[in-house]
Amino acid sequence: MPLLVMKFGGTSVADLDRIANAAKKVQREVERGYDVIVIVSAMSGRTNELVGWVEGTSRLYDAREYDAVVASGENVTAGLMALRLQEMGVPARSWQGWQVPINTTDQHGAARFVSIPRDNIDQKFAEGMRVAVVAGFQGVAPDGRITTLGRGGSDTTAVAFAAAFGAERCDTYTDVDGVYTTDPRISAKARKLDRIAFEEMLELASLGAKVLQTRSVELAMRFKVPLRVLSSFDETDETSGTLVCDEDQIMEAKVVTGIAYSRDEAKITLITVEDRPGISAAIFEPLAAAGVNVDMIVQNISEKNYEDHAGAVTDMTFSVPVAQVEHARGAMEAARAEGKIAYDELSVDTEVAKVSVVGIGMRSHAGVAARMFRALADENINIKVISTSEIKISVLIDRKYVELAVQALHDAFELEKA
């Protein structure tokens, strides 16, 4: 029989009524002739509760025990979903990570997949099981200990199973009915996309769109897994939602597909750094070692007087997540104390945001940057930093202008039009 993977997020299984609603969607696919692997998250709010219990018990907790506790949320959901399906007459069985087994690395709290053997689940399908309900977000380390994959890990689990079992498609059910051209809470003109390319979705996810977890999109793109985003709360059919697919499955790509934004940004500037070969490595190697995720980078002539310095100097500006500012500051201060770099001042601006335009059509169309910059200029929005890729242009602006910038860019590229 053809196989379908269906993933239900926390809001989709938040209580028994919602689990029953999700089970009806699974039953419908079984009736259409599919064997189904269902990947479930913990019930909404349960993971945070479990994390709170761990932190309330042990401030410096053992990561192995953290995983043992936190993974239990998905186990509960899987069991309840299997029970509901059985009550509906659908042959179903729940599976925890170790039962499959989902083999992962031993990096507790941030494990990565090694392999997903098919034998156990395939055998049960052959014996008449129609639905395997698998606890997402978890696996088993080489030593047999439970591992977790990090937040959003159930999305990645679903795509990994779709790849491992050669599923026809991976359907991700969430609290939105698809992927939009931008956040509908900001722009009333936001339009739901019927299709979006893997690369575009990966950029949007990494730039702040929270519909899909970045690792899941990476995995889907690598293994060519068609990925569909649907609402758990609407009636759906084969044309519902947004299909994330290969670029060649999209008839004619628009120049710009979507506008993404992230408010959780900070701008750091090292003022009057030595302008010499190797200075960039001397700055960014300590940041990498400290686990700081550097995004946008610009180097420019220092405003300081050259006469105050023996040699040429420059200013180095880069952006980091707000939560990593102190890690970045510590890494830079340590590098200066060790004599690896020298600078006069470290300036931090935490009142910035990143706004990006994304689209595979940018590869073959000129003038996107000019159009973007003109739209922002017309709204008197100053650009602090710019970065580009083949299908993306990102700018750093004052955070207070985020909504205005998103609306202006959405209008400038006429994204409300199909």
Annotated binding site for ATP: 7-10, 174-175, 180, 185, 210-211
Give the Cα separation of 10 and 81 in Å (integer). Answer: 13
Residues at the binding site for substrate are 47, 74
Three-state DSSP at 173 gives strand
Torsion of CA 387, 388, 392, 398, to 10 degrees: 20
| Residues in the annotated binding site | 7-10, 47, 74, 174-175, 180, 185, 210-211
Alpha carbons 317 and 303: distance in angstroms, whole number: 13
Closest CA relative to residue 112, chosen from 73, 133, 135, 142 = 142
| Residue with token string 């949007």 | 204
CA torsion 341→344→348→349, rounded to 10°? -130
Strands (E), 211-341: 227-231, 242-245, 258-274, 297-301, 313-321
Give the Cα separation of 132 and 147 in Å (integer): 20
CA distance 191 to 281: 43
Q: H or E element: which one contains 328?
A: helix 325-337
From CA 63, how far away is CA 53, in angstroms rounded? Answer: 14
Residue 417's contacts (CB-CB under 8 Å, 6 or more residues apart) are 191
CA 215 to mean position of chain CA atoms = 6
Q: What would the two tokens of residue 334 be?
A: 């340590």
Task: Please tell me whether residue 399 adopts helix, strand or coil conformation.
Answer: helix
